[in-house]
Structure 1
Amino acid sequence: MVLPKGFLFDFDGVVVDSFESHYSAWTSAFKELFNKDIALFPKFHAGKSPMIIAEYFCSVISEEKRTEELFSLKDKHLDIYFTIPKLLPGVREFTTLLTKENIRYGIASNATKQFLKNSVHHLNLDFTTVFGVQDYLKPKPAPEAYILLAETLGFEENDFKDIWVFEDSLTGTKAAKSAGMIPIGITTQYSEEELKEAGSILVFPTLLEAYQYLTTK
């Protein structure tokens, strides 16, 4: 099988399971700021910008005006009380294959840059090009994140149709589709049907099954 020209990866839910890392930081930051327990994390906010998530949590207690405070404090807690997220299957196999085949790849996430750097470092991941939410004027579902990553990796617009983008969220899937790339779904958050409805061309449980699909054809 001829491999695509490039591979772009979301981070949370694709490369790692980081729900506990993020939610514990939201919980402790919310408690410090408001001295209240935080609401349950809603599935429909998976993959969205942390500022949108902060706004949601503040809105539950009618404190929208303190959204930026919560966003900043959560980012600090995520760094100070950093917990290493769990690596998902297939990541090392994929990066080894792409390095061997000299295929360009990188990460574009709506997570904060420091969390991404900490995670890549502690998990010893082979990703040298990594973008976080602070790098974009318009985070996902806008296509900017994936366009910026692709251009940084040296791709031109006419290459986009031959670039795979791995996403677990509907937000990110829409971003990849809007960028003119090929969204590939990972079912850690949403069902195959939901991801395909959002635009995913193929869907896999994890990167490991995607790797097997590419290397056994």
Structure 2
Amino acid sequence: MALPKGFLFDFDGVIVDSKESHNSAWASAFKELFNTEIAPFPKELSGKSPLIIARYFCSVISKENRTNDLYNLKDEHLDKYFTVPKLLPGIREITQFLSEKKIPYGIASNATKQFLKNSIRHLDLNFTTVFGLQDYVKPKPAPEAYISLAKALNFKEEDFKDLWVFEDSLTGTNAARLAGMQPIGITTCYSKEELKAVGSVLTFQTVLEAYQYLTTK
């Protein structure tokens, strides 16, 4: 099997389990701002821009006008009370494999740049090309994130069909599909049926499974 020309990774739910990191920052920021408990996190917001998530939480208590305040404070709490996310299986294996094969790879996430940098540093991950929320005019589900990353890795548009994009959310899968790339579903949050319905060409439970698929074919 010919290997893809490049591999683009989402972060949350693909490389790390960061639910605790994000949820605790949302909860503490919301409590500080409004002196009340935050609503449960809805699954359909997985992978969305933090600004959209902030707008949702504010709308629950009819405080949409405070969306930017919550967004900014959550980002502060995420950094100030940083919780190292849990590394998911297969990341060290696949990055070592891609490095040995000289296949370009990088991260494009809707998470903020500071959270990505903190996480990569604490987990000692081998990712040097990393795009976060502040790098886009239009975050996922728009294709800009993955197009920007692919170009930074020196791929041309005609290469996009030969790029794998690891995604666990419907939002990110749509972004990869709209970019003309090959969405590869990781079933952290959604089932293989749900991911395939929006464009995933293959699905795996973890990146480790994908790595094993790539190295045993």
Query: 2:131, 2:39 → 1: CA distance?
Result: 28
Q: Which residue of 2 aligns with 1:151?
A: 151
**2:131 counterpart of 1:131:** yes
Q: TM-score, normalised by structure 2?
A: 1.00
Query: 1:124, 1:151 → 2: CA distance?
Result: 25
Query: 2:134, 2:50 → 1: CA distance?
Result: 10
In structure 2, what residue type is equivalent to 1:103? I
C-alpha offsets along residues 29-54 of structure 1, whole Å, 9 cap, x if unaligned?
A: 00000001000000000000000000
Query: 2:20, 2:28 → 1: CA distance?
Result: 12
Query: 1:193, 1:2 → 2: CA distance?
Result: 26
In structure 2, what residue type is equivalent to 1:113? K
Q: Which residue of 1 aligns with 2:71?
A: 71
In structure 1, what residue type is equivalent to 2:192? E
Query: 2:45, 2:198 → 1: CA distance?
Result: 15
Helix, strand or coil at the partner of 2:27: helix
In structure 1, what residue type is equivalent to 2:216? T
Query: 2:36, 2:130 → 1: CA distance?
Result: 34
* C-alpha RMSD over aligned residues: 0.3
Q: Which residue of 2 aligns with 1:100?
A: 100
What pairs with 1:27-176 in structure 2 (closer than 5 Å)?
A: 27-176=27-176
Query: 2:96, 2:142 → 1: CA distance?
Result: 30
Q: Which residue of 2 aligns with 1:213?
A: 213
Query: 1:23, 1:113 → 2: CA distance?
Result: 17
Structure 1: any 5+ residue segments left out of the alignment? none
In structure 2, what residue type is equivalent to 1:178? L
The share of aligned pairs that are identical, in percent, is: 74
Query: 2:48, 2:206 → 1: CA distance?
Result: 20
Q: Which residue of 2 aligns with 1:24?
A: 24
Q: Which runs of 4+ in 1 moved over 2 A?
A: none
Query: 1:47, 1:150 → 2: CA distance?
Result: 19
In structure 2, what residue type is equivalent to 1:90? G
How much does 1:2 deviate? 1.5
Query: 1:214, 1:7 → 2: CA distance?
Result: 12
In structure 1, what residue type is equivalent to 2:155? F
Query: 1:84, 1:3 → 2: CA distance?
Result: 32
In structure 2, what residue type is equivalent to 1:149? L
